[in-house]
């Protein structure tokens, strides 16, 4: 009678290679999730349409007033091809900001965030990847839309007092500034979605910060308006792509620094809550 011995090492199941969470993996995951949503394509398309479409409508209206010989509306008195072309920025910021909120808060509403954080236990790389990926996409859409709106809009107002070309001083800087502003608005949207974890709540705070609070500031005493107004997110952001500025507004560089500060503040709040509280 013979006794057969088995080697434990030979019968053991093969070990699986350890899965490494790297920045490349996290970025690729967030990129894939972003483009897998139908709302991404629709909302980015709307943002581009708002930016270009309203810019062309504004330029066409200015050209119509000039051609008819009627007195210009007060809003058009100091208009330039740049300001007319970027008229749709206020509408595009809502589309891109809302999509940013959906990118972050949407995972909380569906419960998918639990799987995401299980795969990336350190958590913070998820926030940085989400904001970085969507911020880049919003930036590219904003820059493309700004240049398209100007190229077509400047053709409409050619031969009028508002006529400008890309070679004029400050034009290229202004168009890139508008795109950068929209990219940062997208990042703020992601931060608000991650901070509040609610689509409705994030959109409400976004709209209030960009549109409602500036209107409420106008009810304050004049001295307060002068001191506080330029540092509001929307006013500081608009200074980034203003062709000229006066004593009541910030310079483009100062506006950029203030708006980046607001962006960092929103991201900081989102990071603290992500680390300290469960999904």
Interval 190-241: pLDDT, tens? 999 999 999 999 999 999 999 888 888 878 888 878 888 899 999 999 999 9
Per-residue model confidence (pLDDT) at position 118: 84
What sections of the chain are H helices per DSSP? 8-11, 23-35, 38-68, 81-85, 89-110, 112-119, 124-156, 171-196, 199-207, 213-217, 222-228, 233-240, 252-276
Inform me whether the pLDDT recorded for 153 exceeds 70. yes
Among 66-80, 113-127, 129-143, 198-212, where is mean pLDDT lowest? 66-80
3-24 confidence digits (pLDDT tens): 445 555 444 545 544 557 788 8
What are 77-111's pLDDT values in tens digits? 788 999 999 999 999 999 999 999 999 998 888 88
Residue 39 Cα distances to 34, 189, 191, angstroms: 9, 15, 18
Contact between residue 229 and residue 220 where contact means Cβ atoms under 8 Å apart: no
Residue 39: how many CB atoms within 10 A of its CB? 12
Residue 37 lies in a domain: no
Report how many domains make up the chain: 1
Q: Does position 244 have pLDDT exceeding 70, yes or no?
A: yes
Q: Is 93 within a domain? A: yes
Whole-structure pTM value: 0.89
Mean pLDDT for the chain overall = 88
> Is 119 a domain residue?
yes
Block residue for tokens 């479409």: 53
Cβ proximity of 105 and 196 under 8 Å: yes
Residue 41 within a domain: no
pLDDT tens-digit profile of 261-278?
999 999 999 999 999 887
Q: 125 in a domain, yes or no?
A: yes
Comparing CA positions, the residue from 89, 109, 106, 100 lying closest to residue 189 is 100
What DSSP string describes 57-92?
Answer: HHHHHHHHHHHHTPPPPGGGTT--HHHHHGGGHHHH
Give dist(CA 87, CA 85) in Å, integer: 6
Q: Is residue 7 part of a domain?
A: no
252 neighbors 177 (Cβ within 8 angstroms): yes
In a domain, residue 38? The reply is: no
Domain extent at residue 108 = 89-151+164-276
The predicted model gives 141-169 an average pLDDT of 93
Tell me, yes or no, whether 10 lies in a domain: no
The DSSP letter of residue 231 is G
DSSP 129-168: HHHHHHHHHHHHHHHHHHHHHHHHHHHHTTTSTT---TTS
In which residue are the tokens 């709540």 written? 201
What is the per-residue pLDDT for 7?
A: 54
pLDDT, one tens digit per residue, over 166-201 is 999 899 999 999 999 999 999 999 999 999 999 999
């Amino acid at each position: 009678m013979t006794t057969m011995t088995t080697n434990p090492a030979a019968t053991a199941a093969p070990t699986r290679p350890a899965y490494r969470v790297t920045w490349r993996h996290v970025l690729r995951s967030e990129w894939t999730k972003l483009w897998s949503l139908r709302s991404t394509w629709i909302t980015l398309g709307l943002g581009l349409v708002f930016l270009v479409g309203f810019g062309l409508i504004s330029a066409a209206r200015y050209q119509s007033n000039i051609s008819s010989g009627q007195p210009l509306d007060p809003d058009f008195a100091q208009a330039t091809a740049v300001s007319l072309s970027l008229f749709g920025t206020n509408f595009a910021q809502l589309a891109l900001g809302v999509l940013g909120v959906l990118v972050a808060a949407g995972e909380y509403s569906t419960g998918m965030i639990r799987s995401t954080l299980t795969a990336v236990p350190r958590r913070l790389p998820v926030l940085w990847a989400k904001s970085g990926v969507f911020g880049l996409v919003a930036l590219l859409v904003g820059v493309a839309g700004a240049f398209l709106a100007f190229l077509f809009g400047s053709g409409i107002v050619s031969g009028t007092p508002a006529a400008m070309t890309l070679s004029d001083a400050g034009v290229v800087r202004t168009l890139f500034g508008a795109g950068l502003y929209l990219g940062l608005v997208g990042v703020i949207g992601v931060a608000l979605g991650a901070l509040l974890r609610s689509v409705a709540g994030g959109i409400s705070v976004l709209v209030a910060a960009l549109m409602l609070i500036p209107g409420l500031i106008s009810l304050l005493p004049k001295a307060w308006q002068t001191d506080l107004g330029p540092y509001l997110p929307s006013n500081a952001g608009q200074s980034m792509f203003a062709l000229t500025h006066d004593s009541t507004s910030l310079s483009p560089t100062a506006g950029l620094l203030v708006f980046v500060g607001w962006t960092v503040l929103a991201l900081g709040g989102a990071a603290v809550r992500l680390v300290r509280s469960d999904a």
